[in-house]
């Protein structure tokens, strides 16, 4: 098997058949074998039903993994990687925003250039609003400053890579998966190619601003301990400021006999210090929570069914 295409699907009932057709069209006459691995991520619509129909028809080699509930795209990718038997592996969305023709192109690049391990696509023109673009830019600059890994701005998980990369990713069994970070962390020589995301074939995106914000925090906490250092830093600054202020107050009282100013100062100080403490405890809590989640050692996903064609 030359190529495995992994397509995580969550409520993509209207897209899966169109996706398969697009793949078959894009790869017709390519001269090598390929398989599609659909991962049904606990969809609530007819996705699984449609995937089973596609599986029965086997217009091209198809595997279907269905999850017991929604575990998220990252878990879907992980499950797909485990089942992939291709020499090359490609991650692609099932909503046809990422065209299979580009995958064919990626395979060509990997064939031509032996030194490359990954070909990743980044969006050259984004259809999103300015505010979101701005926040994304901030996110990349923050995470690249704070963490040891270096994330390529706008690089998606739309990429094709060699089997060795897949093996390395599978070794990362962490529960909180952040694929941009995982790819940066495993390394390998990567070529970035621009692509333009198409309109969704049908259905709606599962992302909104809050989900993206949570995802960004996930990335920062998962790939850097700098926030912990930061809380030590602001703790130290406030401690120094407190000591200086204490000296001032004592001197005022002893040498000038000024009464210690009361209510307003105390309220402000209590609120300020209280909020700094809560903020820092919150940061520590994020890390403790992740340690807790990971220490339970739960599987990344639970598959209730894995349908596979006969590989012989």
Q: Does 72 bind ligand UDP (CB under 6 A)?
A: yes
Interacting residue with ligand UDP among 70, 83, 144, 168 (CB under 6 A): 70
Query: Are β-strands 62-67 and 34-40 bridged in parallel, bridged antiparallel, or unpaired?
Result: parallel
* CA atoms of 40 and 302, how far apart (whole Å): 11
Q: Which residues of 291-306 are buried (b: 16+ CB within 10 A; e: fewer)?
A: eeeeeeeeebbebeee
Interacting residue with ligand UDP among 141, 173, 205, 236 (CB under 6 A): 205
Q: Does 209 bind ligand UDP (CB under 6 A)?
A: no
Sheet architecture: strand order including 190-195: 190-195, 118-123, 155-162, 88-91, 3-9, 34-40, 62-67, 303-307
Q: Which is nearer to ligand UDP, 207 or 309 (CB)?
A: 207
Q: Which residues between 138 and 177 bind Mg ion (CB under 5 A)?
A: none
Q: Does 76 bind ligand UDP (CB under 6 A)?
A: yes
Scanning 91-99, 166-174, 240-248, 296-304 for contacts with ligand UDP by CB under 6 A, the matching segment is 91-99
Q: How far is CA 230 from the centre of its chain?
A: 24
| CB 214, min distance to ligand UDP, A | 13
Q: Does 157 bind ligand UDP (CB under 6 A)?
A: no
Q: Which is nearer to ligand UDP, 192 or 287 (CB)?
A: 192
Q: Which residues between 65 and 104 bind Mg ion (CB under 5 A)?
A: 93, 95, 97
* CA atoms of 110 and 105, how far apart (whole Å): 9
Q: What residue ranges bind ligand UDP (CB under 6 A)? A: 8-10, 12, 41, 70, 72-73, 76, 93-95, 97, 205-207
């Amino acid at each position: 098997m030359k190529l495995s295409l992994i397509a995580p699907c969550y409520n993509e009932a209207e897209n899966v058949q169109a996706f398969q057709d697009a793949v078959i069209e894009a790869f017709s006459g390519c001269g090598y074998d390929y398989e599609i691995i659909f991962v049904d991520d606990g969809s609530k619509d007819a996705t699984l039903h449609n995937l089973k129909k596609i599986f029965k028809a086997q217009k091209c080699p198809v595997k279907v993994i269905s999850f017991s509930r929604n575990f998220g795209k990252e878990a879907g990718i992980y499950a797909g990687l485990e089942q992939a038997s291709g020499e090359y592996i490609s991650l692609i969305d099932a909503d046809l925003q990422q065209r299979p023709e580009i995958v064919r192109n990626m395979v060509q690049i990997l064939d031509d250039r032996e030194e490359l391990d990954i070909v990743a696509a980044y969006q050259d023109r984004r259809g999103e609003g300015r505010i979101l673009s701005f926040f994304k830019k901030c996110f990349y600059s923050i995470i690249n400053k704070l963490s040891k890994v270096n994330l390529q701005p706008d690089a998606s998980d739309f990429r094709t890579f060699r089997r060795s990369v897949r093996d390395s990713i599978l070794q990362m069994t962490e529960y909180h998966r952040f694929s941009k970070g995982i790819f940066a962390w495993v390394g390998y020589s990567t070529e970035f190619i621009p692509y333009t995301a198409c309109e969704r074939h049908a259905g709606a995106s599962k992302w909104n601003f809050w989900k993206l914000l949570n995802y960004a925090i996930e990335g920062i906490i998962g790939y850097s301990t700098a926030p912990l250092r930061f809380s030590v830093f602001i703790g130290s600054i406030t401690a120094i400021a407190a000591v200086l202020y204490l000296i001032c107050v004592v001197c005022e009282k002893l040498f000038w006999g000024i009464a210690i100013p009361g209510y307003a100062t105390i309220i402000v100080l209590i609120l300020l210090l209280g909020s700094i403490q809560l903020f820092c405890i919150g940061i520590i809590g994020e890390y403790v929570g992740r340690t807790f989640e990971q220490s339970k050692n739960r599987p990344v996903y639970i598959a209730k069914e894995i349908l596979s064609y006969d590989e012989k």
